[in-house]
Structure formats: structure tokens, C-alpha cells
Amino acid sequence: METSVLNPKEKSIYYPPGGILLWFIIIIEVFTFLGASLIFVHYRHQNLAIFTESKQLLNPMLGTINTIILITSGLFMALAVLKLRENKNKQSSHFIGYGVILGVLFLGIKSFEFYHKIELGIGFNYNDFFTFYWMMTGFHYIHVLFGVGLLGYMYFGVKQGKYTSKNIQDIEASATFWHMCDLIWIMIFPVLYLL
């Protein structure tokens, strides 16, 4: 029986980074958050005064900082994959480590923001705006939490030599998932904080 190993340098629509299944999941996730954003805009149009007043209770500076943090961590993951392809495992693990640190920082800032809302008595049922806020940011928070755990696992795998330029698929899949977290945040941040 003949086996074939996919060369990571080969480009194929049949095997995108992370694999077909992961891209199927990403498409579902993106359309889920896009749908939620469109429904949010519809409800905002119907209840403009409440949504405008509620938005004032958010901190757009924290949202902007978190956006910069996630985009930067996405860059670090792209560099990690690049360095691993070049057999520079040490540099790759450093970049993954930076991505993990920034992911934890994002979660810390978001947790602070959540705590502040709870302290003010702003929960899931406060009003329509905050129902969307808690659903969208909470669901995204869970994605980032999972992503940080995944990147942490990859960090130790690269550091221990489990992953190399010949065995890069798991790192590509993790980086792709992490980029999905970036993309989702970039979709919901302007809708919730800036609109």
C-alpha cells in the first residue's frame, strides 16, 4: 500500500492550512457571528435610543486595546508557522509563546470588563443590547480560552521537538483557529463598541 505525505510547501485547495474540516467549522462560526451581528443591527434600528444609551456603558478603549492585542497575537502565530517551516523551532516556540501571553492578556482585559458589568448589575437580561453583548462576547471569550489552551499545547510541542517542518499540520491548524478568533473579534468589535 502506498502512502503519501503532503509536503507543507505544496499549495492545494484540497488541503488548506488546518484541513478541510477546520475550514468548514470556521465558515460556520463566521456565518454564526455575522448573522448575530446582522440581527443586532436590526434590533438596534428598532430600539435606537436604548442601544445608543447602552453602548455608552462600554469602554471602547478597552475594546480597541483588545483588538490590537488579538491582531498582534495573530501576527505572532503567522511568524511561528513561518519559522517552523524554516526549521527554526526555537524562534517558532518563542512566537507561539508571545501569542499565548497576548491571548491571556486579552482574556484578562475581557474578564475585567465582564466583572465591571456584573458589578454594575448589567447581566444577560438587562436589555436587548446587553443580551447581544453577553452572547457575542461570551461566546468569543470561550473561543479565545480554548485557543489559548491549544496554543499552549503547541508551544510545548514545538519546544520538545514534537513538531518540525516535516510535521507542521497541527501548528497550522492551531494558527488557523487562532486567526478565526481574530476575525470574529474584528467582526463584533465595531458592531458592539463603535456603531
pLDDT band (50, 70, 90) for residue 194: confident
Spatial neighbors of 50 by CB under 8 A, at least 6 apart, are 127, 128, 129
Tell me: pLDDT of 5 over 50. Answer: no
- Rounded to whole angstroms, the Cα distance separating 188 from 137 reads 8
Positive or negative torsion for Cα 68, 71, 73, 75: negative
Tell me: pLDDT of 69 over 90. Answer: yes
Rounded mean pLDDT, 116-125: 92
pLDDT band (50, 70, 90) for residue 143: very high
Domains assigned to the chain? 20-194 (1.20.120.80)
Cβ–Cβ contacts within 10 Å for residue 181, how many? 23
Tell me: pLDDT of 16 over 90. Answer: no
